[in-house]
Amino acid sequence: MSRRPPDRDRWDRHVEWLLEQATAIEGIWYRSVTPRFATQNDLLTGEGSRVHGGRWNRPGTAAVYLCDSELLAIEESAATALRGGLPRHRALPRTLVSVECRLQRVADLTDGAMRRRLGVSRDTMLNIDWNAAQLKGELPVTQMLAQFFTESRFEAIIVPSACGPRHRNLVYFPANLESRSIVQIVNPNQLPPFGDA
């Protein structure tokens, strides 16, 4: 797993171009979580993904997954439950929250020019069985990409959603948040401050 992937050399050669393409974003994104972790302290830490890994982060790296609409957040959480063998009705209840994001350095991987420069297709991003690769001790290309952007000091990446071609997810890396950037829950006073764990 520590072997340097061949694509990484290509990405490193284009890092200056990629940094020039970085965009600032400002807006509202959405997150759906189990009630146990729907607290002011837990929602935006990325602790669950740090422990277990995800499509866009390897275990050991915290990432927070957000969606561009309320419906997508619900669909994404249902898809995650189904992948884990849990029927949709057993994945409830969920808590849906709005998250205000103001970020300075974001890579938009839904952009075709950026994907071509990286040499990674949209289909590869969406269809790779990242979980199977991770269980075998391999590093899937999506986790490789996220690691590259994290190490290149990007705060987040925008990625396509498998739940629909028009939808996007925002994967934010808490450790890379710049001082002038903001990621905060809207109406946090409506959530408990701490969980029961």
181 pLDDT band, cuts 50/70/90, is very high
Look at residues 140, 57, 68 and name the one whose alpha carbon lies nearest to residue 99.
68
The per-residue pLDDT for 2 is 45
Taking only the tens place, the pLDDT of each residue in 87-128 is 777 778 889 999 999 999 999 999 999 999 999 999 999 999
Residue 25: strand, helix, or coil: strand
The answer on pLDDT for 46 being more than 60 is yes
State how many domains the chain has: 1
Q: Is residue 194 domain-resident?
A: no
The per-residue pLDDT for 126 is 92
The per-residue pLDDT for 68 is 96
Q: Is 14 exposed, middle or buried (0-12, 13-18, 19+ CB in 10 A)?
A: middle
Q: Is residue 1 domain-resident?
A: no
The per-residue pLDDT for 162 is 85
Q: Could you list the residue range(s) of the whole structural domain that residue 169 is in?
A: 6-186
The per-residue pLDDT for 121 is 94
The CATH number of the domain holding residue 93 is 3.90.175
Q: Is residue 192 domain-resident?
A: no
Q: Is residue 135 domain-resident?
A: yes
Q: Is residue 115 domain-resident?
A: yes
1 pLDDT band, cuts 50/70/90, is very low
Taking only the tens place, the pLDDT of each residue in 9-40 is 889 999 999 999 999 999 999 999 988 888 99
Q: HEC string of 177-192?
A: CCCCCEEEECCHHHCC
Q: Is residue 146 domain-resident?
A: yes
Mean pLDDT (whole number) for 68-89: 83
| Calculated CA dihedral for residues 72, 167, 110, 177, nearest 10 degrees | -40
Q: Is residue 118 domain-resident?
A: yes
Q: Is residue 55 domain-resident?
A: yes
Mean pLDDT (whole number) for 67-88: 83
Residue found by looking up tokens 């057993």 in the block: 90
What CA–CA distances, in Å, run from 62 to 14, 58, 80, 85, 114? 25, 8, 17, 24, 24
For the chain, the average pLDDT equals 90
